[in-house]
Amino acid sequence: NTVIAGYCKGGMVQLAERILGNAVFNGFVLDEFTYCSLIDGLCHEGETNRALALFNEALGKGIKPNVILYNTLIKGLSKQGLILEAAQLASEMSEKGLVPDVQTFNILVNGLCKMGCVSDAGGLVKVMISKGYFPDIFTFNILIHGYSTQLKMENALEILDVMLDNGVDPDVYTYNSLLNGLCKTSKYEDVMETYKTMVEKGCDPNLFTFNILLESLCKYRKLDEALELLEEMKNKSVNPDAVTFGTLIDGFCKNGDLDGAYTLFRKMEEVYKVSSSTPTYNIIIHAFTDKLNVTMAEKFFQEMVDRCLAPDGYTYRLMIDGFCKTGNVDSGYKFLLQMMENGFIPSITTLGRVINCLCVEDRVYEAAGIIHRMVEKGLVPETVNTIFDFDKREVAAPKLVLEDLLKKSCITYYAYELVFDGLKDKRLRKKKGFTVVAI
């Protein structure tokens, strides 16, 4: 049993089954503990059908199931979102003379909350209490987290009152759920007041707590208080992470204090020894491109690459937008090509911006090249008519694009004739807002 349990917990259920098969062949008799280990292992791997079959096999062989065996299967079904089947199994326990325990109810409450059925979970807790079971800290935390996730803070705070009235002390997870919900729904004063209560009750905040508080303070541009909180983290021996600094840097950027953001960005690694990441670089690149300071944005982009941090699609979009807005079409075009070469598909907006900039400079063939690339990928930009609007010399390039679109069934033949006829008699340029779209 110990060997089989070890393999199942290690995720090697098939090997456990093989060992078990050999043991049975040599006269080993399976008991409820053996079945419990195998069922738990199968549930962890998402093999709920096999777990149910094994459970029924155990019943068929006269194994008397216990609460632990039922809870194992109920938990497995709940994790797979099969909450109705899990509840039915819990009812079956009572029919077989077994009494569900607090863990049974907690599993069902947790499953309902994860499915978004928090009100049903609250109803189940009432049933639980009516049957003489008193919820534990885990039950309360599940409910408070569920209500806070749905931003139903009145309900969450009511559960907190029930906890306190019945002598159950909230822990850091309780407060973190409440703070997270309040941060998204209330003023920062409410968040800080709850934090004050938390500390007064002797509950030590953790990293997640501080990150929530910083998010709230930065949201309301209370940057001095945010920096004081960073210092408080240090005093409480809570080490900040990339999320901490990402929140702070973003707060300073949105407040227009790029010098402060830059200082924090450097201090993050030099003082706090927190490694920067692609999302952190994106925050500061966004701030500089937003201020049309593409020189600094490109400096940070190159720094990312030099440090072997891979830019993502969002990084490229920021750079392209920044260069196009400042009239540097060559750099915008270069970053677009680089973006596509690295496997990222630009959005319609990004494509349209580069195409428009190229066409303004009468670089129609390069714009047509972008369209061809995207058609090959099965994408048709809504701004394809921009090429036609700016083709001042001839209709050959747009005609090739249109024929390619038509050949790949991206537009109808009617649309093809309509646009090409418009090009020939120059009427298209007079029709503002005319757009070729996929039909």
pLDDT digit string, tens, across residues 219-258: 999 999 999 999 999 999 999 999 999 999 999 999 999 9
pLDDT higher than 60, residue 429? no
Query: Are 191 and 165 found together in one domain?
Result: yes
Cα(117)–Cα(113) distance, rounded to whole angstroms? 5
Query: Are 44 and 82 found together in one domain?
Result: yes
Position 429 in a domain = no
Which regions of 223-378 does DSSP assign to beta strands (E)?
none
Which residue from 220, 221, 264 is spatially nearest to 244, judged by alpha carbons?
264
Position 348 in a domain = no
Query: Are 93 and 119 found together in one domain?
Result: no
Instruction: Report whether 374 contacts 426 (CB < 8 A).
Output: no
Query: Are 156 and 64 found together in one domain?
Result: no
Give me Rg for the CA atoms of the chain: 31
pLDDT digit string, tens, across residues 149-166: 999 999 999 999 999 988
Last residue of a domain, one of 52, 70, 100: 100
Query: Are 138 and 187 found together in one domain?
Result: yes
Position 24 in a domain = yes
Task: Over range 355-370, report the average pLDDT.
Answer: 77
- Give 185-249 as a DSSP string: HS-HHHHHHHHHHHHHTT----HHHHHHHHHHHHHTT-HHHHHHHHHHHHHTT----HHHHHHHH
Which residue from 335, 343, 402, 344 is spatially nearest to 372, judged by alpha carbons?
402
Position 175 in a domain = yes
Last residue of a domain, one of 174, 204, 234: 204
User: What's the token pair of residue 20?
Assistant: 């078990």
User: What's the token pair of residue 358?
Assistant: 């190229």
Position 109 in a domain = yes
The model's confidence at residue 327, banded by pLDDT at 50, 70 and 90, is very high
Cα(22)–Cα(227) distance, rounded to whole angstroms? 63
Which CATH number covers residue 130? 1.25.40.10
**How many independent structural domains does the chain possess?**
2
Query: Are 125 and 89 found together in one domain?
Result: no
Position 329 in a domain = no
Instruction: Report whether 297 contacts 285 (CB < 8 A).
Output: yes
Position 70 in a domain = yes
The model's confidence at residue 23, banded by pLDDT at 50, 70 and 90, is low
The model's confidence at residue 143, banded by pLDDT at 50, 70 and 90, is very high
SS3 (DSSP) at 122: helix
Query: Are 75 and 161 found together in one domain?
Result: no
Query: Are 115 and 57 found together in one domain?
Result: no
User: What's the token pair of residue 145?
Assistant: 């987290």
pTM (2 decimals)? 0.76
Residue 194's domain comprises: 103-204
Query: Are 114 and 190 found together in one domain?
Result: yes
Query: Are 141 and 89 found together in one domain?
Result: no
Query: Are 165 and 129 found together in one domain?
Result: yes
Cα(194)–Cα(237) distance, rounded to whole angstroms? 21
Last residue of a domain, one of 170, 204, 238: 204
Q: What is the pLDDT of residue 393?
A: 46
Instruction: Report whether 120 contacts 89 (CB < 8 A).
Output: no
User: What's the token pair of residue 378?
Assistant: 């099965």
Indicate the residue type of 287. A
Query: Are 55 and 129 found together in one domain?
Result: no
Position 188 in a domain = yes
Vertex 311: Cα angle to 273 and 361 (nearest 5): 135
User: What's the token pair of residue 289?
Assistant: 């491109």
Instruction: Report whether 204 contacts 172 (CB < 8 A).
Output: yes
**Block residue for tokens 């906890």:** 163
pLDDT digit string, tens, across residues 53-98: 878 887 887 778 889 888 988 998 898 888 988 999 888 888 888 8
